[in-house]
């Protein structure tokens, strides 16, 4: 045998896997019948829906703010650059959990939110902060702003990856700066950032479980509420785990589909990777491939 190490390793792994399977099947504490009975219960499904909504809303808002931040960051205007830099610095530095709790308690800092002339000028409209900030909006703010900082940095790299030659070519065709950005630069930048955005979406899905601190009944907190009542802790955590795995798998497949539809015509340059292999892809591996 040329690789005895491989064989020993394989045997050890096989034994571990067998033990793990045995636990899954025979350990009574897992209570599979209980898992099955809660898997599609209305409370769990409602929590699942809220988790999906939180993920999507935070990503959409985060990306939209991120595009603006990235453009500001690359702008010729120094004030724009500084503001964008500061925003990214702040929201990348503060953990989303801290942000959520902070936003939720925003009323303690600012009892009233108003639109009007600042520094004591007249107000056009004012709202009580406590009516604006619900657990849900506090969660969205915390998650979306964190994402905006990451998205801005990715998009900036994406925009910079589009060659200056193309921008000049567009200029000689008489395109304005906005037209060039919208038609030439952003479509390519977005394509470059699809893989990292896909990864971010999956991370976001997992980050949403933080909202349980705001007592917002997402997937995890719904499960927690049930086992607080019934003491069936493990089976309900298994229910949540299964759903998280389903969601991340679906997101991975979706990401693959989006990426493929965006890369029509470039397929000749790219090796085709099946989605099941991409489940385990290292983040940013694709970008390194492209750079090479």
Partner 1 sequence: MAGPLLKVERLHKAFGTHEVLRGIDLEIDEGEVMCIVGPSGSGKSTLLRCLNYLEKPKSGAVFLKDEPIGVRWQGDRLYEMTFDQLARQRRRMGMVFQGFHLFPHKTVLENVIEAPIIVNRTPRRKAVEEAMALLEKVGMKDRAHYHPAQLSGGQQQRTAIARSLAMRPELMLFDEPTSALDPELVGEVLATMHQLADEGMTMVVVTHEMGFAREVADELVFMDEGVIVEQGKPADVLLNPQHERTQTFLARMREEA
Residue ranges binding partner 1 (CB under 8 A) = 163, 165-166, 168-177, 179, 183-184, 187-188, 191, 265-266, 268-269
Which residues fall within 8 angstroms of residue 30, CB to CB, at 6 or more apart? 23, 24, 234, 235, 238
Q: Which residue has the tokens 């060659």?
A: 163
Question: Least Å distance between CB 17 and partner 1?
Answer: 44
The smaller minimum CB distance to partner 1, of residues 43 and 168, is found at 168
**Residue 204 structure tokens:** 């976001």
Question: Least Å distance between CB 162 and partner 1?
Answer: 9
Phi-psi region of 231 (alpha: psi -120 to 50; beta: other; left: phi over 0): left
Question: Least Å distance between CB 23 and partner 1?
Answer: 50
The smaller minimum CB distance to partner 1, of residues 253 and 258, is found at 258
Question: Least Å distance between CB 30 and partner 1?
Answer: 50
Question: Least Å distance between CB 184 and partner 1?
Answer: 6
Contact 183, 175 (CB under 8 A): yes
The smaller minimum CB distance to partner 1, of residues 194 and 219, is found at 194
């Amino acid at each position: 045998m040329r690789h005895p190490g491989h064989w020993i390793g394989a045997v050890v792994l096989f034994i571990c896997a067998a033990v793990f399977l045995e636990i899954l099947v025979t350990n009574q504490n897992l209570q599979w019948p209980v898992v099955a009975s809660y898997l599609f219960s209305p409370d769990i499904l409602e929590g699942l829906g809220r988790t999906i909504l939180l993920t999507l809303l935070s990503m959409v808002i985060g990306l939209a703010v991120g595009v603006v931040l990235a453009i500001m960051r690359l702008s010729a205007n120094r004030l724009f650059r500084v503001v964008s830099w500061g925003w990214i610095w702040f929201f990348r530095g503060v953990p989303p959990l801290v942000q959520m709790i902070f936003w939720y308690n925003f009323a303690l800092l600012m009892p009233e939110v108003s639109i009007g002339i600042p520094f004591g000028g007249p107000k056009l409209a004012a709202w009580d902060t406590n009516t604006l900030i619900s657990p849900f909006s506090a969660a969205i703010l915390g998650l979306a702003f964190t994402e905006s900082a990451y998205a801005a940095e990715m998009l900036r790299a994406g925009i910079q990856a589009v060659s200056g030659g193309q921008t000049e070519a567009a200029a000689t065709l008489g395109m304005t700066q906005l037209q060039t950005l919208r038609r030439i630069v952003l479509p390519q930048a977005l394509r470059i950032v699809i893989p990292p955005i896909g990864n971010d979406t999956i991370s976001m899905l997992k980050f949403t479980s933080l909202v349980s601190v705001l007592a917002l009944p997402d997937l995890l907190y719904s499960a927690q509420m049930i086992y607080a009542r019934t003491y069936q802790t493990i089976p309900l955590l298994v229910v949540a785990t299964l759903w998280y795995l389903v969601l991340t798998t679906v997101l991975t497949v979706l990401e693959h589909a989006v990426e493929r539809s965006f890369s029509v015509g470039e397929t000749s340059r790219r090796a085709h990777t099946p989605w099941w292999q991409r489940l385990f892809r290292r983040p940013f591996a694709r970008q390194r491939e492209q750079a090479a």
